[in-house]
Structure 1
């Protein structure tokens, strides 16, 4: 008999809370159960099939018949608990189509709005007490300002094909190692760490990577591709997911016809290599955020609209990207394409109109 390695025990008088942070289940144990669990942790061979507590601990998945292997983790247990504990958040019912998603999301929003939002604790100064700032100045040819003003999240896409030239521009300017900056390196930069992207990276490690989801790109077969920033190239990894993409991304079926998407992953082993403390785990998310915003601004400058999400089925995405059991993990998804510019999909707009009628 073995103890489940994904347990986190919280002392909560008069008992203990045992939380299985991988399966998102928790159990409250009284003193008898706590004492027996402590005995079994010390010596699992004491397991007794005639002991009702032992059987209940086994049925609760606190004990396991076979040993469960855990992935290598280069930081402390706290960051491991956070990473695994925030994966694969359970959902009672994943929407099977866009209509189900619209109804569920609207019901959720109505439930949230039924409770007043938290008060704004920031002191509100009178207008005459505030300091007025000048209007923004022109930025070169003003293309950056234009992209910033135009960028918005859209949830209604035509599915129109994208060109391979646009894909190349998107990937090079967001994830590529910029040849134009090769002369920026000086003697202080360690060998092998001279590559520079348009976005900053903690420690210059470029710990994030990108996997392209190509659904409708001219001259590119549909599928999942790994992007290689060194030589600005793609390699095919997998076919497109089945069922629809929306099923993989939390039931958000309005993006099923999105022509292009990008899964941003983190190479934790690169971060472990340089940073021994798990605080560096934050840097993976910071870097993913930088890359996501750059991707969106480049897409906007190309005349495309964008959408992004952190809601996806981790295990399924890991399998799709061939990253199962790897130190490289998916963190975020961003997509782009031709859109009518609507923030909400047509199905949600129709539900809102029905509610107002």
Structure 2
């Protein structure tokens, strides 16, 4: 007899939860069952066909009669659990044609709409405190091909202040609810889900939000600001911390003089509302990636260089943004400014040159 290799155990007093993450099944075990499972983990050959607990473990898949092949995984067990545990969405029935899918999806949406949507104003400031941004400008007509060719990650910035107009344009085209797309809205779109951005969003939920880290922008005091996409405005969240920006980004201090950056967050409660399955967590990162790339292309079109990272000191960033123990969490950071175009900071280049000379 063998223990299912795709199990993890969560202690939940007075028992424990055993989760078969490959098959999306979970079981709650009391002390008697937990003790017996521990004995079988220690010695699977102690399986007893006359023991009802043992046979239940076998019937539910906690135990197996043969060794299950597992792919070699190059990372830690947590990443393996996440990847396998969000595969193969369990569904009672897979539609066999477009008509069945349409009916199935409509029924799902109607079922979702029977519950209240998450509060879209979570963590936002009163309208009286909004800082209106200048009207965004358009981007050069031939900018897309040029931006795709010229976009690159830079690690050496001048710290020169950015015009507020450029920041306004960047925010509008990457996170704003586009006035240009209001013609896409018709009676088939549910109330509260009519906003459209330049980047795609799972279920049209616009689950990602943005917090601006401002160090040097003309006409805007340094600090952290929440972006309000419906109003194309900012609200002050907190002053800059005493530590440099690099301290919030796992010690990447070459970025300390970046004039402006964007913490991209995800509203998990929006995703849970429509997609009550762990796979939706993948979509939060996909959406953050879309927005990051849009931000970078818009910045490049404006003649700016960009830098991005997923390495955050999460607890510090959450505190700074006022998101501790919240259903909204920071996922990514992308910033821009004037740069000499160097992919490496001068300190790293100096070390590399020193190594070549030895």
Which TM-score bucket, shorter chain as reference?
0.5 to 0.7
Aligned CA distance change for structure 1 residues 258 and 238 (closer, same or farther; 3 Å):
same
Structure 1 Cα separation of the partners of residues 19 and 203 of structure 2: 35
Q: Does residue 229 of structure 1 match 2:229?
A: yes
Greater Cα shift, 235-244 or 287-296: 235-244
Q: Residues 165-195 of structure 1: CA distance to partner in whole angstroms, max 9, x if unpaired?
A: 0000000000000011112111111111110
1:99-248 aligned within 5 A: 141-248=141-248
TM-score by length of 1: 0.62
* Unpaired stretches in structure 2, ≥5 consecutive residues: 1-10, 21-34, 40-77, 84-139
User: Aligned to 2:308, what secondary structure does the other structure show?
Assistant: strand
Q: Residues 127-151 of structure 1: CA distance to partner in whole angstroms, max 9, x if unpaired?
A: xxxxxxxxxxxxx943200000000
Q: Residues 223-246 of structure 1: CA distance to partner in whole angstroms, max 9, x if unpaired?
A: 000000010000010111221111
Aligned CA distance change for structure 1 residues 9 and 342 (closer, same or farther; 3 Å):
farther
Residue 260 of structure 1 and its aligned partner are, at CA, apart by 0.3
With a CA cutoff of 8 Å and minimum separation of 6, indicate the structure with the bigger relative contact order. Answer: 1
Residue 308 of structure 1 corresponds to which residue in structure 2? 308
Aligned CA distance change for structure 1 residues 239 and 149 (closer, same or farther; 3 Å):
same
Residue 321 of structure 2 corresponds to which residue in structure 1? 321
Aligned CA distance change for structure 1 residues 152 and 8 (closer, same or farther; 3 Å):
farther
Structure 2 Cα separation of the partners of residues 273 and 10 of structure 1: 23
Aligned residues: 239
Aligned CA distance change for structure 1 residues 325 and 355 (closer, same or farther; 3 Å):
same
Q: Residues 261-284 of structure 1: CA distance to partner in whole angstroms, max 9, x if unpaired?
A: 000000000001111111111110
Q: Residues 1-45 of structure 1: CA distance to partner in whole angstroms, max 9, x if unpaired?
A: xx688x99899xxxxxxxxxxxxxxxxxxx9xx57xxxxxxxxxx
Structure 2 Cα separation of the partners of residues 290 and 194 of structure 1: 19
* Unpaired stretches in structure 1, ≥5 consecutive residues: 12-30, 36-77, 84-139
Residue 331 of structure 2 corresponds to which residue in structure 1? 331
Residue 88 of structure 2 corresponds to which residue in structure 1? none
Aligned CA distance change for structure 1 residues 8 and 312 (closer, same or farther; 3 Å):
farther
Structure 1 Cα separation of the partners of residues 143 and 156 of structure 2: 25
Structure 1 Cα separation of the partners of residues 348 and 259 of structure 2: 21
Q: Does residue 343 of structure 1 match 2:343?
A: yes
Structure 1 Cα separation of the partners of residues 238 and 142 of structure 2: 40
